[in-house]
A and B are shown apart, each in its own frame.
Chain A
Amino acid sequence: MTGTAIRIDAAEIGYPGRTVLRDLALTIAPGERVAVMGRSGSGKTTLLDLVYARAAGRAALVPQQAALVRRLSVFHNVHMARLDRHSTLFNLKTLVRPGRREVAAVRAVLDEVGLAPEIFRPAGDLSGGQQQRVSVARALHDGRPILVGDEPVSALDPVQGSAVLARLAARHETLVLALHDPALALAHATRVLVLDRGRIVLDAPARSLAPADVAAAYGAAEPGASGHDPRP
């Protein structure tokens, strides 16, 4: 556990003419598993983008849309996570004719998300849930210490989702995940952040929270007006 913390300290973040996040002071320590929650439009994706940018090459990403190359096989989509570790020539060769070692490595990762049989199917032929698992497998294969995931299990049922989150936790030292299912978040995260209108309205250890607390924080209209601050 040697990574450095991610620190974000900013008054206003957003795009020209539109502020998405305000008064943000956040430190994520190595080993933490942070669940970012909040209604849509509350700034979750912007916060995750910021974390990914601050992680500067130490993070793997599971974006909101699976972001697969539809024409390429599942193998190639997962192998993509390691393009930076090989020469261009080797990458081009693998595009045409994958080596046995690469296939074995990718197959092992796909096995973890239950997709090993689909390894040579075009990614575009898979269902939404399968595509999401390919996207997760790509991050697992990447193996960087920090994982930033924007709703990485939104298209999976709770049992599958739980299994996938466990895999991610086993593989990556630090997790920063946007999740929308409070039960799933409390089961897998060590820390829960709830955003509302660009402000953090709840930041607490997961074990101190019940699903009802998280749900209540969702409803908080104004920061400070919630009255549900469960911090001990």
Chain B
Amino acid sequence: MTGLDRAVRRIGFTGVSLAILALGIAAAAVGDFAVTASHPGPELLRMLHGLLTPDLRAVNLWALVDTLAFAVLGVGLGCASGFVLALGFPHLAAIRALCAGLRSVHELFWALLLMQVLGLGPATGVLAIALPYAGIFAKVFAEMIEEADRPALRVLPPGTGAVSAFFYAGLPDLIDQFGHYTLYRLECGLRSTLVLGFIGLPTVGFELDAAFKAGAFPQAAALLFSFYALVASRHVWARPWTVPFLVVGAALVLPAGLPGGDAWQNLVRFATRDVVPAPLRGADLLSGAPWAAAFGWLGDILRHQVLPGALATLVLSQVALCTMAALALALFPLVSRRFAGPVGRPLGRALLVVVRSTPDYLLAYVLLQALGPSMLPAVIALALHNGAVLAYLLGRQADALAYRADAPRGANLYFYETLPRLYGQFLAYALYRWDVILRESAIFGILGVATLGFYVDGAIAELRLDVAAVLVLATAALSLGVDALSRALRRALRVEPGARRRGGATSPPHLELASGRQGMTYDGT
């Protein structure tokens, strides 16, 4: 037992919650959460009006098709490579490290970096999704394989090759789970693709960006609604037998999928020049002077960009984490049978599905235009999106609780039965969500909040890719650090998210997701 375990167990659920809340309040006091727009009211009203009068004729159908194509190819490639990586995941620490690295860099950062090599083409969009998703798929698939009960492995004749054994006795009973999870990931892929549009890829996000900038809110609303329709109809068009058609269709829609002839030269230039720290470029590496300069250069970046960016990222994510938690606790009764009743529950569920289908990046973008630049729009966006995800899951858990026949009702039920019994799960889910929020907080810098993404965006705009690389690495390290802390806390508290199975073991959330019709993400947006 480590010192952390002992300390955490002494303060318990309450202590950990209060510590996180205290940090959140401190962060709220430090951060800038003002409404800076001089007249946010009229702008919000015009947006609302646009939302009520969508201009469906303005929807560019090709943008929808491209969005789907990017998501299908990106998620498909990520799934295939993730599957291969998953086979080596338990055996090779190098593969686990590679996957953690791939996962810890947000798809927007991948896109910004890939753009330097592949240009603003389809390959950039596909790879920006495929790379981080490969890391996620590898981890999740590996966990599914490890969790699976495979009695048939025992009866295989001795001397059966590992590959034959896996394909006969392992994979067939896992394939449904893999399939469900992959199709669910496609939904996340659609959201990621939309966000990539904001940096120039020809998806719905690109059109949305243009519409918002022009103040054409009815057009933006129509685009948004058609995106919802695409996500909501996933169960119709994303089925096992439609997959070949989707993949072939997507490859045909994005014909320029192969990068141009100079991609190789770009890659060489990128690797040997652009990301090499400026003081070392072309310098005589055998003498000491360039190295001293490089240390100075690195120190400057750490002091003036990484440190303030990381602080802002932590402040934003801490406030967002607390707000999300409060929102989830307030909202989950909406989707719980005991509280919302047979009429209220479907309505609550519809509300939460719409909120979680809206990418938080888009929410932040819209609110930033209405409320002006500060951390407030980002917090609202993060709390709404993640709070809806969390509330939805907690509602399902609440319905799975067995109440005694004479259980109280209403607030008494909530505070005396439901909340105490659900609290461990709630903490587990919230902690699980923590590094997702952190990665998103960093990304919101691109929108102008001074988190790490702000500095990455600036460095790329100035074509200082060496600086950008240091900042992206710092973001990845921060994300891995929070992930490790979250895992340590969950272990110390002995809570894991997921449905309690017979025998007291819990299933990891992705297994629960893969089994449910309405899945949700834990690893990405």
Contacts and interface: CB of A to CB of B under 8 A. Distances in A.
A63 B164 contact: no
Interface residues of B, number: 20
A88 B161 CA distance: 7
Contacts of A144: 157
Interface in A130-144: 135, 138, 142, 144
Interface residues of A, number: 30
Interface in A92-106: 92, 95
With most chain B CB atoms within 10 A of its CB, the pick from A57, A76, A82, A88 is A88
Interface stretch (B96-104, B132-140, B147-155): B147-155
Interface in B161-178: 161, 163-165, 167-169, 172-173, 175-176
B159 interface: yes
Given A88-B161, A88-B163, A91-B167, A63 B172 contact: no
A65 B167 contact: no
Interface stretch (A4-12, A67-75, A197-205): A67-75
Given A68-B152, A71-B172, A72-B172, A84 B159 contact: yes
Given A63-B155, A67-B151, A68-B152, A83 B173 contact: no
A92 B155 contact: no
Given A71-B172, A142-B157, A83 B165 contact: yes
A62 B165 CA distance: 17
B409 to A, nearest CB: 42
Contact of A69 (B152, B158, B161): B152
Nearest to B161: A88
A84 B156 CA distance: 8
Contacts, number: 73
A61 B167 contact: no
Given A67-B151, A69-B169, A72-B168, A84 B158 contact: yes
A63 B160 contact: no
B172 A83 contact: no
B173 A69 contact: yes
Interface of B is mostly: helix
A219 B169 CA distance: 40
A83 B156 contact: yes
A145 to B, nearest CB: 13
Given A81-B157, A142-B157, A92 B167 contact: yes
Given A57-B158, A72-B172, A67 B152 contact: yes
A147 B350 CA distance: 58
A83 B151 contact: no
A15 B75 CA distance: 45
With most chain A CB atoms within 10 A of its CB, the pick from B155, B156, B176 is B155
A80 interface: yes
Contacts of B161: 83-84, 88, 91
Interface string A142-158: 10100000000000000
Contacts of A56: 158
A173 B365 CA distance: 76
A57 B167 contact: no
Nearest to A62: B155
B151 A71 contact: no
Given A81-B157, A83-B164, A84-B157, A65 B151 contact: yes
Interface string A44-61: 000000000000110011
Contact of B164 (A68, A77, A81, A92): A92
Interface string B161-197: 1011101110011011000000000000000000000
Nearest to A76: B168
Contacts of B151: 63, 65, 67
A232 B457 CA distance: 92
B145 to A, nearest CB: 14
Contacts of A69: 152, 168-169, 172-173
Contact of A82 (B157, B167, B172): B157
Contact of B155 (A57, A71, A80): A80
B158 A61 contact: no
A80 B163 contact: no
Contact of B168 (A67, A83, A85): A83
Contacts of B152: 67-69, 77, 80
A57 B160 CA distance: 11
A61 B155 contact: yes
B157 to A, nearest CB: 4
A85 B160 CA distance: 8
B173 A71 contact: yes
A136 B226 CA distance: 56
A68 B163 CA distance: 18
B80 to A, nearest CB: 17
B157 A71 contact: no
A134 to B, nearest CB: 11
B165 A67 contact: no
A160 B115 CA distance: 69
A131 to B, nearest CB: 12
Contact of A83 (B154, B157, B175): B157
A150 to B, nearest CB: 11
Contacts of B158: 56-57, 84
A56 to B, nearest CB: 8
Contacts of B176: 71
Given A69-B169, A71-B172, A71-B175, A91 B155 contact: no
Nearest to A56: B158
30 contacts: A57-B159, A60-B157, A62-B155, A63-B154, A63-B155, A67-B151, A67-B155, A68-B152, A69-B152, A69-B168, A69-B172, A69-B173, A71-B173, A72-B168, A77-B152, A80-B168, A82-B157, A83-B156, A83-B157, A84-B157, A84-B158, A84-B159, A84-B160, A86-B164, A91-B161, A91-B163, A91-B168, A95-B167, A95-B168, A135-B155
Among all A-B residue pairs, the 5 with the closest Cβ atoms: A67-B151, A84-B159, A71-B172, A91-B164, A84-B157
Given A71-B172, A81-B157, 11 more contacts: A61-B155, A63-B154, A65-B151, A69-B168, A71-B175, A72-B172, A76-B168, A77-B152, A80-B155, A83-B168, A144-B157
